Amino acid sequence: MVNLGELRNTAMQKISEMRAELPVKAAEMLDQRIRAITAGLSANELRAITRGESPTEKPNPRYKLQTKSFLFHLRPRYYQRASTWFSHTFRLGWLSVFTFFVETFTGIILMVFYTPIPTQAYADILNIMANVPFGRFMRDLHRLGAEMMVISVFLHMVRVYFTGSYKGERSFTWLTGVVLLLLTLLLSFSGYLLPWDQLAYWAVTIGTSMAEAMPVIGTQVNLLLRGAPDIGAGGLLRFYLLHVLFVPLIAILVISIHYYKVSREHSISLPASVEEGEMDPAEKKKALERVDFIPDLITHEIFLTSLVTFIMVLFVLFIPIAPLETHANYNATPLDTEAPWYFLWVQGMLKLGDKTLMGVILPGAIFTLLAAIPYIDRNPSRLARNRKLEITLGILFIALLGVLSYFGTPKALIEQPPATRIVQDMIPQEGEGEVRTLPFSQLKVGRYTTDMDFATVNGTPGLKQVMVDLQQKIKQKADKLPGAKGTVEIADVQVDGSGQTELKQVIMRIAWTDPQRGDQVYEKVIFLHRDAAHTAK
């Protein structure tokens, strides 16, 4: 006979036992799941990490990650404290990686709205800016990231050079670094063409024409890059594929190699003062103590990520930096062609000599020299006071780059016909200039000359300023423009539905008498629309 009452009692007892166990069991299961995902960290351990507490188990489960988890095994287990001093690395290697990620993310979003076809590309960029929510934002971020990446990679190299961290076993790391510098420049430059505006088209035309100056294979390389004698549909597609596929893939590979060398093999160098200098033993001990990846370094990286993200996002909110000039025009070489700033030094060299020497051989020699630095520099010491020559040379080299870049700016070392220069300064082909940025209401219909009484335009101070400036500029070049007279003519062209003018024609004209060629005139006609929002930049 079964005692029903007893059975019930046992059942109740079991149930309440199970109830009591349930949270424990659940917690255990949860813990297992968490350990499975984190390659061995318990929930408690995670909590300890975020609070900066010491490990909850022994052996330190945090180290296990570096052998078991794919992503973490790429990372170091620890660095010595002095290696992580901000003043030693300035986090520039990190910043290079970070900006590379920013570029990948924003770039993929931009790809969604972009077609690499000459008849479509420019319109797509306009569309990104005027129709795609966050479109302009993504474009600006992508641009900002690209500029930052070039800067940080360059500065990273500079810091490695000045801290002497390329020596000895790290010489291969330096070599991969030089490859990365080239890849970074190539990434940035290949992206330059994609908006298919005048800026892009002519910068890349000049860039690839340097390839043409290579001895023997030049023509072939140029053809390979451009896809035809001139950049067209083929060239655009090639640069697009270089930019979104080929170079990034190679860059990911080389960054991985570079970084693996640092994180798993040689670690970040110690500051020379710690490694070689005399230091108080207690201080030295502290400088050499371990800083674990988890939690210290990883927290720091996440912090840096949020900091730089915030700065970048804020920056583009206020300063939209991605430029867009007018549509690429194969027939109109711009008066002022400008290489991207990081190639101005090459453009500067090109102005000083012949294309093969200055555009190919010397830059090639410079990069070869860079790559060879660890093998040329046999000085074993990394202390600044033992490296006076290296440091002086480094500073001189950077100064030289600066000077060459200045030569590379459009106006340096190039003399344009004076009248053309004046009009180009006041009404540049690209960008705004002081006539376009006049408030529309200042464009009073009429004909104004530099020899008239400016009091008649007192009512329109902006226009008066234009006339004063024009007069001034002509006066400055009086020796080259004898008897010159400047004229500005403004006329109505179209009116809107309510009868207000919305489009005006502006003509700027300089007439002078050349001693040899007689009467000369240079004039430029533009049209200005009320809603075009030309604003000074």
Partner 1 sequence: MIRLQITLGLVLILAASTVVLIIGVRDIATDHLTRVQDEQHARSVEVGADLFYINCSRCHGEDGKGTAGLCPPLNDRTFFESRLKDIGYAGTLRAYVNSVISSGRPVSTRPQLYAGQMPTWSNVYGGPLRPDQIDNLTDFILNWQATAMSGAQPAKPEPEKAASPEDLGKQVFQRAACIACHAIGNNGGAVGPNLTKVADDAQKFIADPNYKGQAKTPQDFIRESIMNPNAFVVPGFQPNIMPQNFGQTLKPNEIDGLVAYLSTLK
Q: Per-residue contact track with partner 1, 511 to 530, x per CB under 8 A?
A: --------------xxxxxx
DSSP state letters, 453-520? -GGGGTT-HHHHHHHHHHHHHHHHTTTTSTT-EEEEEEEEEEE-TTS-EEEEEEEEEEEEEETTTEEE
The answer to whether 448 and 488 have CB atoms below 8 angstroms apart is yes
Given the complex with partner 1, which of 72 and 345 has the nearer CB atom? 72
Given the complex with ligand HEM, which of 80 and 471 has the nearer CB atom? 80
Interface residues for ligand HEM in 133-192 (CB under 6 A)? 153, 156-157, 160, 165-166, 170, 173-174, 177-178, 180-181, 184
The number of beta carbons lying within 10 Å of the beta carbon of residue 497 is 6
Given the complex with partner 1, which of 288 and 503 has the nearer CB atom? 503
Q: Which two tokens stand for residue 359?
A: 């555009």
Asked if 114 touches ligand HEM (CB under 6 A), the answer is no
Q: Which two tokens stand for residue 344?
A: 């101005």
- Name the E strands within 280-409: 290-292
Asked if 233 touches partner 1 (CB under 8 A), the answer is no
CB of 428 to partner 1, least distance (A): 14
Q: Which two tokens stand for residue 363?
A: 């830059």
Task: Give the one residue of 296, 336, 425, 434 binding partner 1; rule: CB under 8 A.
Answer: 296
Asked if 101 touches partner 1 (CB under 8 A), the answer is no
* Interface size with partner 1, residues (CB under 8 A): 55
Q: Which helix (H) or strand (E) holds 314?
A: helix 298-318
Q: By CB under 8 A, which span of 204-212, 232-240, 352-360, 490-498 interacts with partner 1?
A: 490-498
Asked if 306 touches partner 1 (CB under 8 A), the answer is yes
Interface residues for ligand HEM in 47-106 (CB under 6 A)? 89, 92-94, 96-97
Half-sphere exposure of 122 (CA within 13 A, CB side): 15
CB of 71 to ligand HEM, least distance (A): 15
Q: What is the crossing angle of helices 92-112 and 247-260, to 10°?
A: 160
Given the complex with partner 1, which of 413 and 525 has the nearer CB atom? 525
Interface residues for partner 1 in 32-71 (CB under 8 A)? 50-52
Asked if 327 touches partner 1 (CB under 8 A), the answer is yes
Asked if 171 touches partner 1 (CB under 8 A), the answer is no
Asked if 244 touches ligand HEM (CB under 6 A), the answer is no
Interface residues for partner 1 in 350-389 (CB under 8 A)? none
Given the complex with partner 1, which of 396 and 495 has the nearer CB atom? 495
Ramachandran assignment for 359, one of left (phi > 0), alpha (psi -120 to 50 degrees), beta (any other) = alpha
Asked if 408 touches ligand HEM (CB under 6 A), the answer is no
Which distant-in-sequence residues (6+ apart) come within 8 Å of 491 by Cβ?
Answer: 445, 504, 505, 507
Which distant-in-sequence residues (6+ apart) come within 8 Å of 263 by Cβ?
Answer: 74, 75, 76
Asked if 250 touches ligand HEM (CB under 6 A), the answer is no
CB of 493 to partner 1, least distance (A): 6
Find how far residue 9's CA is from the centre of its chain. Answer: 75
Find how far residue 174's CA is from the centre of its chain. Answer: 22
d(C-alpha 391, C-alpha 381), whole Å: 13
d(C-alpha 16, C-alpha 22), whole Å: 10
Interacting residues toward partner 1 by CB under 8 A: 50-52, 119, 122-123, 126, 129-131, 133-137, 295-296, 299-300, 302-303, 305-307, 309-310, 313-314, 317, 326-327, 329, 445-447, 491-497, 499, 502-503, 505, 525-533
Interacting residues toward ligand HEM by CB under 6 A: 89, 92-94, 96-97, 153, 156-157, 160, 165-166, 170, 173-174, 177-178, 180-181, 184, 255, 258-259, 262, 268-269
